[in-house]
Amino acid sequence: MNIKPIFILTAAIALAACNNDKKPASPDAKNEKGMSGMGMMMNPMETVVIAKSNPMVMLKLAGELKPDQHTEMFAKVNSYVKHIQVDIGDRVQAGQTLVLLEAPEIQSQVANAKAKLEAQEAIFLSTKATFDRMMKANETKGAIARDALDQIQARKLSDEANLHAARSAYNEIRDVNNYLVIKAPFSGTITSRNVDLGAYVGPMNKEPLLVIENNQRLRLNLSVPEANTPYIKIGDTIRFHVRSRPQEKYLAIVSRKSESLDLKLRSEKIEADFINEGHALKPYMIAETTIPLQHSVPTFFVPKSAVVESGTGIYVIRAENGKAKHVPVSKGRVMPDKTEVFGALNDGDAILKMGSEEIQEGTAIPEGGKK
């Protein structure tokens, strides 16, 4: 019996049955698929109706924490470091002695000036005593010649002038001698030390002897873009965190505004004070801030895609009587999906959701695209 032809015939019958089970795609299914694809495409002439609102806009800015006070301390006279009483990390009080310097030639000049002052004081006291006696004797008419009185008066004035000059010279050199004792100008922390005992120092040194900072209070420095400056006022609260402690949230109070814009960045510098309890934060940390901005009156917020920025200016495209009309605007606050704009707009205006430079004024805008 020949089995091979029978097997081939059976396979052919099974294949035909499978093909009969596959139904051809209906025209309706094809149309539905096509309509779905068209729905995924955005209508370039779609319009949105605008209305005024007054949302709370959160501005996120990066700032820098700086010490409330920062001073680099230099030697005012050429001298040698005799004694250093502090080191990095030491907390000091205002007026505390930090460094003692030594300059033998200055100390010798102080001693010399003091001796000259004492000598001139003795000369003046002697001349003054003689002058007083002659004036007393002159109470008797004719006892002292007029010429003698004039001479002693002139000598008294001369010795008095020499005394003032000697005192001024002594005070000047004494003040220079005081420069050999360097004291803390305010309470704070020593953050840098650049000298050792015996080092020769002077006003021409490039590096300071010490750096002292007041880290008990920090200043949060921010540069606020021009469009957002009207919404930040003295006394406002700024929330922030630092990268080293992302889980911790801190508050700072706006205390100072520069009231002027930076020429390069077109931004205003503001400072917010932060009380650094426990010295948890360090100066010059980067702070990630969140600043709430809210207008006193409602304004227009439009989709970001509706704002066209071109060489001729910034504008939105309004639908007027079925045609496109360019309306110049200026931008304000920015939200994730919307931008605040100011211009000749009214509640109920319909603008293109997708603005484009290619859409010229007078271009037809079909009805039915409003949302």
pLDDT by residue, tens only, the chain of 371 residues: 444 444 444 444 444 444 544 444 444 544 444 444 444 456 778 899 999 998 888 899 999 999 999 999 999 888 899 999 999 999 999 999 999 998 877 777 778 888 888 888 899 898 888 888 888 887 777 677 788 888 888 988 998 898 888 888 877 777 777 888 999 999 999 999 999 999 999 888 899 999 999 999 999 999 999 888 988 999 999 999 999 998 999 999 999 999 999 888 889 999 999 999 888 899 999 999 999 888 888 999 999 999 999 888 999 999 998 899 999 999 988 888 999 999 999 999 999 999 989 888 888 888 755 55
| Residue-level pLDDT at 325 | 92
With CA atoms as reference, report the closest residue to 76 among 170, 180, 172: 180
| Residue-level pLDDT at 335 | 87
| Residue-level pLDDT at 16 | 47
- DSSP-derived letter for residue 220 is E
Q: Which residue has the tokens 């700072």?
A: 252
Q: Which residue has the tokens 């100066």?
A: 283
Contact between 237 and 253 (Cβ < 8 Å)? yes
Contact between 233 and 292 (Cβ < 8 Å)? no
| Residue-level pLDDT at 93 | 95
Q: Which residues of 130-160 are buried (b: 16+ CB within 10 A; e: fewer)?
A: ebeebeeeeeeeeebeeeeeeebeebbeebe
- Those residues with Cβ within 8 angstroms of residue 221's Cβ, 6 or more apart along the chain or in another chain: 63, 64, 65, 66, 269, 270, 271
Q: Please write the tens of the pLDDT for every residue from 23-61.
A: 444 445 444 444 444 444 567 788 999 999 988 888 999
Read off the pTM. 0.62
| Residue-level pLDDT at 370 | 55
- DSSP-derived letter for residue 81 is E
What token pair was written down for 73? 């301390």
Amino acid letter for position 164 = H
Cα dist from 155 to 126, 128, 168, whole Å: 11, 9, 20
- DSSP-derived letter for residue 75 is -
Task: State CA 133 to chain mean position distance.
Answer: 71
| Residue-level pLDDT at 41 | 55
Cα dist from 107 to 101, 113, 170, 179, 201, whole Å: 11, 10, 11, 11, 17
Contact between 52 and 299 (Cβ < 8 Å)? yes
Helix (H) / strand (E) element for 158: namely helix 146-178
Contact between 313 and 355 (Cβ < 8 Å)? no
| Residue-level pLDDT at 64 | 96
Q: Please write the tens of the pLDDT for every residue from 272-320.
A: 999 998 888 999 999 999 998 888 889 999 999 999 998 889 999 999 9
At 275, phi and psi to the nearest 5? -80, 115
